[in-house]
Structure 1
Amino acid sequence: TYRSAEHSQALLSGLVSLRDSSILFDVVLIVEEKPIEAHRILLAASCDYFRGMFAGGLREMEQEEVHIHGISYNAMCKILNFIYTSELELSVNSVQETLAAACQLQIPEVIKFCCDFLMSWVDEENILDVYRLADHYDLRHLSDQLDSYILKNFAAFSRTQVYRQLPLQKVYSLLSSNRLEVNYEFEVYDGALFYHYSPEQLETDQVSLMEPLKLLETVRFPLMEPQILQRLHDKLSPCPLKDTVADALMYHKNECLQPMLQTSQTQLRSEFQCVVGFGGMHSTPSIVLSDQAKYLNPLLGEWRHFTAALAPRMSNQGIAVLNNFVYLIGGDNNVSGFRAESRCWRYDPRHNKWFQIQSLQQEHADLSVCVVDNYIYAVAGRDYHEDLREVERYDPKSNTWEYVAPLKKEVYAHAGAALDGKMYITCGRRGEDYLKELQCYDPKTDRWDILADGPVRRAWHGMAALLGKLYVIGGSNNDSGYRRDVHQVACYRPSTDQWTNVCPLPAGHGEPGIAVLDNRIYVLGG
């Protein structure tokens, strides 16, 4: 089938030529008592308003002159020029009447362009007028854009008089948003007070906090640093706010139990999700353990470093995410000889800091780690003296590890993933042998079951759960008589206990990091 790339533009050009030559006009629009000639069929094709008028059985179908009310002559000329040419010229003086016309005529593309034009001119002097415009025409998209403008410029905007003219409920909504861009939570506290007091009043301490201010409900006090909270607590007289600050201080003092103390008040002000990589080992120019951390911004497609004090240096550790805390479990420290680790750490992105949690009851290197029902499981591995089959479970509520049912046989260099409340372990090594076993643990029965073998033996691979399936990715085996990368990616469906092969990796990945984000599987390094 032939499809012309130029036909639509040629058709538009032909219609413009007909208009400029006053040929085949069949309707006259009367706008503010002024006539505008047009082609009825083009108007009907351009928007629902004219389609209903000229093709919906209304009396305008037979009229040669049609009166249009509620639209200015200049705006109608601009709209008609857009219909004929797909071009629209706006100015600060014409945008409001053009927007009104586009809303009445129901032309979404023009409405959007007018809103975008308005946003390019928004500042603190006119933002209230634009809010009123959005409300009058029920333009939710424009209202959301205005909200985004304030959320992005909150620190400066909250110090203006215009800020204090916004409706209280609007400000409450903005201060409650995860998209509020502030460097520190204390800026939100100041912003809540700025709505009731001027910056000068705050600086001279002319503020009364004995009665609770509703906007202070939006401040996430646990996100503030303890030193700032303590200064605020010491300055306050007995009042509800002082009790709230005291609760936030208690949150910091109970650092060990913070994962179990999560509420909306401890949630980061961000909707940004990313893939993060921790630690590992550099092999050149010499073997060095890394304490670096990097995050991948999926929108930009690039990696960036971030630093946190007292970061552990580990490799081959298990990694898990629970309640938006990152846990590094066991692993090894093989710079000088082989040494398995029992130590464990927890990273808090809210305060960009590490905390050492209770160590495992025994060293585990080349283990797998999974999260099921708010527990972290450390499964088997080796301690460089023997292969392991022991399984330990971590309870964040008590900061303790306990043994649960062990595997039926020892395994290390395996991979695991959790799906539908169960934990699955696949492949790995036992002694010098590469495996293709699949085992499943049900925490309700504290029992391991043997499932269908995978299609290929492998170890030092990765595993991910996505959309009801398990994917086994990368690793290596010695099927060729020497250790060689496995490119094959296997997919397991628990509902049928069957394996299939999917698109292979383009390159080998031994000991890769695996992450799932936005229904995509990321394979990192190795």
Structure 2
Amino acid sequence: MDPPAAEVLHYSDEEQSSTLLLQLHKLRAESILTDVILCAGRTEIPCHRNVLASSSAYFRAMFCNGFRETRQTKVDMKGVGPVILTSIVDYVYTGLISIGLDNVLHLMQAASMLQFGRLFEACSRFLQSQLRPDNCLSMFRLSDLMNCDSLRKKAKEMAMESFTDVSSSEDLCELSLQELMGYLEDDSLCAQEEEVFETLVAWIRHDPISRRGTISNLFKKVRLRHLHPTYLFQFIANDPLIQSSTLCTEIIESVRRLMFSIGTRSIRDFVVDFKPLWAAPRRCSHDDTLVVVGGRRNNELTSREALVFDEKKQKWQRLTKLPVRLYKASHVALHSILYVLGGLITNTSSSQVSRTVYTLSLKTNQWRTAEPMLEPRFAHQTVSYLHFIFVLGGLGSDRQLTAGVERYNSMFNQWEAVAPMPETVLYPAVATTNQRIYMFGGQDATHDPVRLIQVYHIGRNMWCTMENRTVKNVSAPAVVLDETIYIIGGYTRRVMAYDTEANRFVKCANLKERRMHHAATGLNNKLYVTGGRYVSGHDAIEDTDAFECFDPKTDTWTCKGRLPFKLFDHGCLTLTCVTQNWKKS
């Protein structure tokens, strides 16, 4: 018989390595078995060559590759001060070192030279913990000097995320032209375009003699398409620096012709150099955010709530409430501002038709009043195009249907009447694209559906009408995606895609129920539909808190959750803001 297999114990002494290092540290302290002395000035530190060579590639090369230091009993450590050298040798033997503001730079330099990688990164982490908006630019420069990628990355991130604070720091004015251009052209910069312009102007005025000639190159980094027209044409255009540059004035004039020559000019008509400037996208730090406002809540009170959807957390969060309760007001977004126009004021004992305009910016999360409409109205429709807001139809102060249309010019803060609708309708689906406003269906004064498409040419101030048997909607929203208009429901389950060029409807996937008085918006190339009323299986009209998404590419609907409460006749809009800026208010 074979002898039984011998049992084997694989012993692992976890304390051996640390104990060994501590014993070596004691031997060094007593200069026992030490074979080299590191010198810094008048400071001499006895060490063991094998310990140093095992701790760093620098010392390994020094003592193991036949250099003269292999035979020397004393090695002069040039470039390293006595205190720093003592700290590093202690670190080699104990793994412990104190890093503070008074020594971090010297430690980092020594760790880099002596090739202590983990110590170098520890210094980097310490500096990262000290990052603030007022020092991140100098830290970024330091990271270049130290060739420290981890510090460079964190300093750049802070500069991008806190640019509003960074732009007012003294360090920004000390940047070179190339450094400043690098920040301003970065898609991840968290700043409004107005801030970008003000930053470059402040940088030039810090040293006007040598920097004045840079205005043309810097101005190209401002994404003009995303500036408020009033700021561009009244503030920027009149700035002496801009006026001193022929190229800058040509660019602004190109924008002016594009925005004010509606219907007669296009981007193709302008200077070649201007086209990529106009096409520049919003910065990545600008989020398109879905906002729901107003409406009728749980079929009881008219709601003052304003809600914003947090895409990352998949939750609704509340914004500042509307100042008053407004029944059947209209809602529109322009230049990242939410407008609530008109409506029936229900706060008072006797309802009153309003012509007041309220605005909300996610940047401030505060409601303000804007220039009021020419006429009070409610149950009307509103759309925006370029720097204009158009208000169409609805019910006037006499509670009668009106065909009146008025236009708000955000550039001059003025309202003006334009050509009235050919056919007076209530609750049509309205959308704007390609310099035209399209109005689908609705109902007449006798509550009969109108099978009509009414088209308003913005540049010509003219209407035309087209009869179409496919049009069959009342109280339905319309949304534009990729120049296609989607009409969603309206006392029907149907979703229709309208090709404006071909004057052709294409049927899309149906809604789950017959839906009306709901709201919709476009976000990230998809349609989002919120709330409304629907016809149940018992032909009863009920309110809903549904929150659904339609993907035109797959022609499918998906549930996105629920609104915090049932809601109809509300606004659902897409607002653009600097990432999470509204949370700071």
* Distance (whole Å) between structure 1 residues aligned to residue 124 and residue 495 of structure 2: 57
Which residue of structure 2 aligns with residue 330 of structure 1?
392
Residues 498-524 of structure 1: per-residue CA shift (max 9 Å, x gap): 656563444211112113469x9xxxx
* Distance (whole Å) between structure 2 residues aligned to residue 170 and residue 426 of structure 1: 49
Instruction: Report deviation, 1:445.
Output: 2.1
**AA partner of residue 292 (structure 1):** Y
- TM-score between both structures, scaled by the size of structure 1: 0.62
Which residue of structure 2 aligns with residue 96 of structure 1?
105
Which residue of structure 1 aligns with residue 544 of structure 2?
486
Cα distance change of structure 1 residues 253 and 497 upon mapping to structure 2, 3 Å threshold:
closer
8 Å Cα contact 1:308-1:352 kept in structure 2: no
Match of 2:438 among 377, 389, 395: 377
SS at structure 2 position matched to 1:417? strand
**AA partner of residue 213 (structure 1):** G
Work out whether 1:214 is the aligned partner of 2:223.
no
Which residue of structure 2 aligns with residue 197 of structure 1?
209
8 Å Cα contact 1:291-1:314 kept in structure 2: no
* Distance (whole Å) between structure 1 residues aligned to residue 439 and residue 485 of structure 2: 11
Instruction: Report deviation, 1:384.
Output: 3.4
Cα distance change of structure 1 residues 228 and 196 upon mapping to structure 2, 3 Å threshold:
closer
Match of 2:488 among 422, 426, 435: 426
Residues 317-356 of structure 1: per-residue CA shift (max 9 Å, x gap): 4455556x463441524443133354243564xx694565
Which residue of structure 2 aligns with residue 10 of structure 1?
none
Cα distance change of structure 1 residues 377 and 75 upon mapping to structure 2, 3 Å threshold:
farther
8 Å Cα contact 2:528-2:549 kept in structure 1: yes
| Structure 2: gaps (5+ residues) | 1-13, 29-36, 40-44, 60-64, 66-74, 268-273, 292-336, 580-585
8 Å Cα contact 2:531-2:568 kept in structure 1: yes
Work out whether 1:111 is the aligned partner of 2:124.
yes
Residues 131-187 of structure 1: per-residue CA shift (max 9 Å, x gap): 244354142432454577776354674xxxx76653232244456677378679577
Cα distance change of structure 1 residues 93 and 269 upon mapping to structure 2, 3 Å threshold:
farther
Map of 1:21-420 to 2, 5 A cutoff? 23=19, 25=21, 72-73=84-85, 76=88, 90-100=99-109, 101=111, 104-105=117-118, 111-117=124-130, 119=132, 122=135, 131-137=141-147, 138=149, 139-143=152-156, 145=158, 152=165, 154=167, 157=170, 166-173=175-182, 179=191, 188-189=200-201, 191-197=203-209, 213-219=213-219, 223-224=231-232, 226=234, 229=237, 232=240, 241=245, 244-245=248-249, 248=252, 256-257=260-261, 264=277, 272-273=286-287, 275=291, 276-280=337-341, 281=343, 282-285=345-348, 286-289=351-354, 290-296=356-362, 303-310=365-372, 315-320=378-383, 325=387, 327-346=389-408, 348=410, 353=413, 356=416, 358-359=418-419, 361-362=421-422, 363-372=424-433, 376-382=437-443, 384=445, 387-393=449-455, 401-403=463-465, 406=468, 408-420=470-482
Which residue of structure 2 aligns with residue 509 of structure 1?
567
Which residue of structure 2 aligns with residue 3 of structure 1?
none
* Distance (whole Å) between structure 1 residues aligned to residue 455 and residue 93 of structure 2: 70
8 Å Cα contact 2:382-2:392 kept in structure 1: no
Higher RCO (CA 8 Å, separation ≥ 6 residues)? 2
Cα distance change of structure 1 residues 163 and 444 upon mapping to structure 2, 3 Å threshold:
closer
**AA partner of residue 100 (structure 2):** S
Question: Which range is displaced more, 508-517 or 310-319?
Answer: 310-319
SS at structure 2 position matched to 1:141? helix
Instruction: Report deviation, 1:474.
Output: 1.4
SS at structure 2 position matched to 1:381? coil
Residues 433-465 of structure 1: per-residue CA shift (max 9 Å, x gap): x32222221234211244454221221012345
The aligned length equals 445
* Distance (whole Å) between structure 2 residues aligned to residue 410 and residue 486 of structure 1: 22
SS at structure 2 position matched to 1:111? helix
SS at structure 2 position matched to 1:377? strand
SS at structure 1 position matched to 2:204? helix
SS at structure 1 position matched to 2:498? strand
* Distance (whole Å) between structure 2 residues aligned to residue 247 and residue 372 of structure 1: 25
**AA partner of residue 474 (structure 2):** Y
